[in-house]
Amino acid sequence: MARQKIVAGNWKMNKNMEEGLSLASEVIHMAVDELPSSQGVSLVLNPPFLHLSAVRKLIPAGKGIYLGAQNCHHKPSGAFTGEVSAEMLKSLPVDFTIIGHSERREYFGETNALVAEKLNLLLEKGIRPIFCCGEALPIREADTHLAYVAQQSTESLFHLTAEQLKQVVIAYEPIWAIGTGKTATSAQAQEMHAHLRAHLAGKYGVEVASEISILYGGSCNPANAQELFACADVDGGLIGGASLKSRDFIEIAKSFPNK
Ligand code: 13P
């Protein structure tokens, strides 16, 4: 079975409402005009929470364009001022939600165990998690990156059943490549993606592991996407900066080879 090809745009904390709506509407129009569904690429727009409801209304059904949030709280509901629950996201509805992004791990102290709690709530609500993992530069320089990222996935994912795991999208985002303009080489990306897939296969079997989409994130742009997406185990991208420009985002989405 061919794996789902996905290009997801993580807008992070950018764009006010008016700017966000115009970005979403440009991306949607270009996608409908230029990305035939025969190419089988799914796009996910992940604007800030505030914009979700309005962007939802712009997305046409049946065009392979989906809505995602950037985070959710790890408890189902309650006295958590300023937070947003999986249930609230489901009520819009959103289709996907990014969890465990390195910026949340770094600035908000999120751990693998906490990310697992979020994942469980999302799956309970039928929202597909985009689970982020990736190493900081000192870990790569110490040559322990493969074990480190495998450990992140073990601690956040390995309690799931195979059926649950199939709902998860994994995004490998080396921290040293995020927002730095320094992309992982295609060899570095392929090495990690293959390693992650083998790690999943060790627990869930080759067949299940071969169905999981693993995205690359970190300074992915129209100039490097083609080489990255040509790698056997790279199934698309989680795009930060370049997702804020409609033309760049769509060009990235057009960068898949016929494989
Ligand atoms: P950049 O594409 O800006 O490096 O960001 C990657 C990222 O963090 C996506 O989640």
Ligand 1 within 6 A of 228 CB? Answer: no
Torsion from C-alpha of 127, 205, 225, 16, nearest 10 degrees = 20
Nearest atom in ligand 1 to 101's CA: 10
Residue 259's pLDDT band, with cuts at 50, 70 and 90, is: low
pLDDT tens for 61-98 read: 999 999 999 999 999 999 999 999 999 999 999 999 99
Question: Which active-site residues does the annotation give?
Answer: 101, 173
Q: Which among 131, 127, 103 has a CA at the least distance from the CA of 115? A: 131
Q: What is the pLDDT of residues 8-66, one digit of tens each?
A: 999 999 999 999 999 999 999 999 999 977 779 999 999 999 999 999 999 999 999 99
Per-residue pLDDT tens over the stretch 197-254: 999 999 999 999 999 999 999 999 999 999 999 999 999 999 999 999 999 999 999 9
CATH 3.40.190.10 is held by the domain 5-253: no
Best mutation site among 71, 133, 219, 239 for ligand 1 pocket (most ligand atoms within 8 Å of CB):
239
pLDDT in tens, 149-170: 999 999 999 999 999 999 999 9
pLDDT of residue 197: 98
For atom 9 of ligand 1, the residue with the nearest CA is 240
Hey, what are 227's tokens?
Answer: 């080489």
Residue 149, C-beta contacts closer than 8 angstroms, at least 6 positions apart: 133, 134, 135, 172, 192, 195, 196
Output the CA 65–ligand 1 centroid distance in Å. 20
Tally of CB atoms within 10 A around 110: 20
CA 107/CA 38 separation, integer angstroms: 40
Domain ranges of the chain: 5-253
241 residue type, one letter: G
Q: Is 179 in the pocket of ligand 1 (CB under 6 A)?
A: yes
- Please give the torsion angle defined by the CA atoms of residues 158, 159, 164 and 169, in that order, rounded to the nearest 10 degrees: -40
Residue of 132, 219, 244 to test ligand 1 pocket, by largest number of atoms within 8 Å of CB: 219
Q: Is the CB of 220 under 6 A from ligand 1?
A: yes
pLDDT in the model for residue 1:
64
pLDDT score of 64: 95
Distance of alpha carbon 216 from alpha carbon 209, whole angstroms = 16
Residue 218 is given by DSSP the state S
SS3 125: helix
Q: Which residue has its alpha carbon closest to ligand 1 atom 7?
A: 240
Say if ligand 1 is within 6 A of residue 106 CB. Answer: no
CA separation, residue 51 to residues 68, 132, 197, 208 (Å): 11, 22, 34, 35
